[in-house]
Structure 1
Amino acid sequence: MTSPKYKRIVLKLSGEALAGDEGFGINPAVIKSIARQIKEVAELGVEVAVVVGGGNIWRGKTGSEMGMDRATADYMGMLATVMNSLALQDSLEQFGIETRVQTSIEMRQVAEPYIRRRAIRHLEKKRVVIFAGGTGNPYFSTDTTAALRAAEIEAEVILMAKNNVDGVYTADPKVDKNAKKLQELSYLDLIKDGLQVMDSTASSLCMDNDIPLIVFSITEEGNIKRAVMGEKIGTIVRGK
């Protein structure tokens, strides 16, 4: 294909993807590589929205397991996503890509509050929009945020960029050498087989709103563009 298959996308980045091999914090080389790949796609005229996780800084689940109040731990995780979003914004703007960060928890000194119509207007003006702060509610993951925002802005696809995994497997390929990569499956299979791609809330939301999901590796340069152009990479998850 000479033109993009998708015109408006939500790119879901895990916090771990920003950490690279270190597993914690933000790796400058990695975030620059991701920004460069987003630039490549934005220059094709594709409207790009991004949802970033916060697991490289803090995980609400970890805090909860330590005995912390779950809601408090989750709010801390939301703040971690804001830090990641600001870092990605800075990197994108260094490449000359106009970017806006919108947070579901108001902090007007550093970002805009999330307003659906304003987000869509930014996208129409070909600005990259980064959705930070999760859904603004505890007990919901950033996977669910990606599904919710994709439905709200009427994105055509969610691109789930993974670190060191190039798709969905029948089991964890790092543990089970017999694990097989799946080229395509349904959201019902994802939920029924307990495949740890996204949580059941996010999967149900995508299924109900008929939003396809492409799971691929972010570590290989150019993969975001390949996915947008309709090349067969990673695993695609569809409908029922």
Structure 2
Amino acid sequence: MNDAQTRFRRVLLKISGEALMGDQGYGLHPPTVQRIAREVKSVHDLGVEICMVIGGGNIFRGLAGSAQGMERTTADYMGMLATVMNALAMQSSLEDLGVYTRVISAIPMDQVCEPYIRRRAVRHLEKKRVCIFAAGTGNPYFTTDTAATLRANEMSCEAIFKGTKVDGVYDKDPKKFPDARRYDRVTYNEVLTKNLGVMDASAIALARDNDLPIIVFSLDEPGGFKGILAGEGTFTTVHG
């Protein structure tokens, strides 16, 4: 293994629930879940310790529920439960590939996953198990972006890898504007002041305060996750 492949020892991969839908309008698309699991395994095979946080928007969107008259706290808890379902699906796909995986929930549900205990989670990582953190922070009003940044700091991760549908951060939506410009590097403050939509403001501020880089890349690019760890491919780094 060369130095470029090992420059990250421990990372957190954050993906949206929508990333698991494939071309469907909602729910889980098993071939897509399996494809992402293979991407994770390819990085795990390099010896990198991996945490994951997966959103729940493919099953339930808390803010959308709130907008339709549902009380916000209830809607957010439903969204947290959706993330547990996604985490279990990803665990199943990873273990089919021979990757030992633990789902760790901020809301205790002992029959299906472990409760979050920081020292135990760190030990799982040291034993080269993939840890999938579910149920956000366990609190309403906090997004899975904020949960990902919190867990990445608690686990002493060296970077957050944000898998999206585009190959980095742009000054405007590249799907709508052909002249959109991609940033190679952008600061936390630029993301906040220009409202670039990498993660929500709480997550960006938490990353900035702990000097935790965020690497934004396309999850749709085969081999992209592994390639970036080797210093290849197209991505944007959010830094201090």
Q: 1:100 aligns with which of 99, 102, 111?
A: 102
- 2:224–2:233 CA contact under 8 A, matched in 1: no
SS of 1:122's equivalent in the other structure is helix
1:177 aligns with 2:167: no
Secondary structure (helix, strand or coil) at the match of 1:21 reads: coil
Displacement after TM superposition at 1:232 (Å)? 4.8
The offset of 1:233, in angstroms, is 2.3
Q: Aligned equivalents of 1:6 and 1:229: distance in 2?
A: 9
Give the letter for the 1:175 counterpart: K
Which one is further off, 57-66 or 230-239? 230-239
Shift of residue 166, structure 1, vs aligned partner: 1.3
Specify which of 131, 139, 145 is matched with residue 129 of structure 1: 131
1:190-212, Cα deviation, whole Å (9 max, x unpaired): 00001111000000000000000
Number of aligned residues: 238
Aligned-partner Cα distance in 1 for 2:25–2:224? 21
TM-score (norm 2): 0.97
Deviations 1:131-175 (A, max 9, x none): 00000000000000110001101100000001x311111011122
User: Which deviates more, 171-180 or 148-157?
Assistant: 171-180
Identity of aligned residues (%): 55
Q: Which residue of 1 aligns with 2:212?
A: 211
- Alignment partner, residue 142 of structure 1: 144
Name structure 1 gaps, 5 residues minimum: none
Query: Where does residue 167 of structure 2 map in the other structure?
Result: 166
CA RMSD of aligned residues (A): 1.0
Distance 1:227 1:101 in 2: 25
Question: How far did residue 121 of structure 1 move?
Answer: 0.2
Match of 2:118 in 1: 116
Picking from 44, 47, 60, the partner of 1:58 is 60
Q: Distance in 2 between matches of 1:23 and 1:124?
A: 38
Give SS of 2:226's match: helix
Structure 1 distance, partners of 2:221, 2:177, is: 23
Alignment gaps of 5+ in structure 2: none
| Per-residue deviation, 1:230 | 2.7
Q: TM-score, normalised by structure 1?
A: 0.97
